[in-house]
Amino acid sequence: MRPLIIDCDPGQDDAVALLLALASPELQLLGITTVAGNVSVQQTSSNARRICELAGHPQVGVYAGCPRPLLRPLETAEQVHGKTGIDGADLPEPKMPLGSIHAVQYLIDTLMAAPAPITLALLGPMTNLAVALVQQPQIVDHIEALVFMGGSAFEGNVTPAAEFNILTDPHAAQVVLSAGIRRVVMLGLNVTHQVISTPERIERIRALGTKVGQTVAAMLTFYGKFDIERYGLPGGPLHDPCVIAYLLEPHLFQTQPCYVEVETASPLNLGRTVVDRWGASGQPANAQVAFGVNAQGFYDLLTERLGRYQ
């Protein structure tokens, strides 16, 4: 079992990622930290707990983190995710309590005390981990791997240059990418746009006939509307579950070692992940960047794991 902490901003796709992780015995989910991103940190913290309860895991610790990015004002994404961030899901207010310490403290305490290095899955803006790295740089040695959804080797989705998670807090992303973490895996838009939740794929999940299956299908139907109406895509790209799928079945993804840096100054390119695919900069690679994914294998894995919920 791989010890894992998930940092997230649910978000329908974060919610599906949590459900995928909680259904997978290969992963030992130690805790969940939340951050402001798709919606406020109060709302993402509530959503993470609703999903844990839906999954039948109310014992998982959920710790609320930073309410805003390091330097930029928070710009949330209700236009994509709805008012609650997980519109489509009809889940009650959570009963499980929120963890009593701040997410940054939880990350530092847990990493420093761990008997073996821990894997981190980042599904939202990187503010919490950046603050933890600044406060206690020694945590770097206690991170087994960092797998994140963010950025793009090609174009952005909020601006032509930048993807939402990185643009929300580009300074935090640059702190994290330059921290010297031993293994970093980047799953950017260039791969997550290869795993679209088409109506057929959503129907397979709905046909599971369970509360989880119905809830995921309803969330993905709501979430897909934005990309269908605005971009004419056949559904919403299922970004964040790629991180968990990578941890479970890395062979589904094709990756390449690259040097990646975040643009933090230029107004035109703010938040762009500049991926040096061909080694033009001469800088050593600091990430494995994904360029391809087996979409059928990804949806087979997701549907099978969601089917484990009764």
Torsions phi, psi for 20 (to 5 deg): -65, -45
The verdict on 7 binding Ca ion (CB under 5 A) reads no
Name which of 148 and 299 has its Cβ closer to Ca ion. Answer: 148
Residues with catalytic function: 239
Number of residues assigned to the chain: 310
Helix (H) or strand (E) holding 235: none
Question: Among residue numbers 123 through 182, which ones bind Ca ion (CB under 5 A)?
Answer: 123-124
Question: Among residue numbers 230 through 269, which ones bind ligand BDR (CB under 6 A)?
Answer: 239-240
The verdict on 227 binding ligand BDR (CB under 6 A) reads no
Residue in the block written with tokens 């979409």: 295
Name which of 103 and 108 has its Cβ closer to ligand BDR. Answer: 103
Pick from 6, 20, 62, 80 the residue near ligand BDR by CB under 6 A.
80
Three-state DSSP class for 290? strand
Name which of 22 and 208 has its Cβ closer to Ca ion. Answer: 22
- Per-residue binding string, ligand BDR, 83-122, x by CB under 6 A, is ----------------------------------------
CB of 236 to Ca ion, least distance (A): 12
The set of residues, in sequence order, having a beta carbon less than 8 Å from that of 124 and lying 6+ positions away, is 7, 8, 9, 11, 14, 35, 37, 38, 44, 165, 168
The verdict on 272 binding ligand BDR (CB under 6 A) reads no
CB of 231 to ligand BDR, least distance (A): 13
The verdict on 236 binding Ca ion (CB under 5 A) reads no
Question: Among residue numbers 240 through 269, which ones bind Ca ion (CB under 5 A)?
Answer: 240
* Residues facing residue 307 across a β-bridge: none
d(CA 169, CA 287): 19
Name which of 136 and 159 has its Cβ closer to Ca ion. Answer: 159
- Residue 288, contacted partner among ligand BDR, Ca ion, none, CB below 5-8 A by kind: none
- Per-residue binding string, ligand BDR, 31-50, x by CB under 6 A, is -------x------------
**Pairing label, strands 196-197, 27-34:** unpaired
Scanning 111-119, 161-169, 179-187, 290-298 for contacts with ligand BDR by CB under 6 A, the matching segment is 161-169
The verdict on 301 binding Ca ion (CB under 5 A) reads no
Name which of 181 and 243 has its Cβ closer to ligand BDR. Answer: 243
d(CA 137, CA 107): 12
Asked if 275 and 166 touch (Cβ cutoff 8 Å), the reply is no
- Residue 263, contacted partner among ligand BDR, Ca ion, none, CB below 5-8 A by kind: none
| Residue 49 burial (CB count, 10 A) | 24
The set of residues, in sequence order, having a beta carbon less than 8 Å from that of 7 and lying 6+ positions away, is 32, 33, 34, 35, 65, 103, 107, 120, 121, 122, 123, 124, 126, 128, 129
The verdict on 157 binding ligand BDR (CB under 6 A) reads yes
Asked if 180 and 146 touch (Cβ cutoff 8 Å), the reply is no
- Catalog residues that contact ligand BDR under the rule CB under 6 A: 11, 13-14, 38, 77, 80, 123-124, 149, 157, 163-165, 239-240
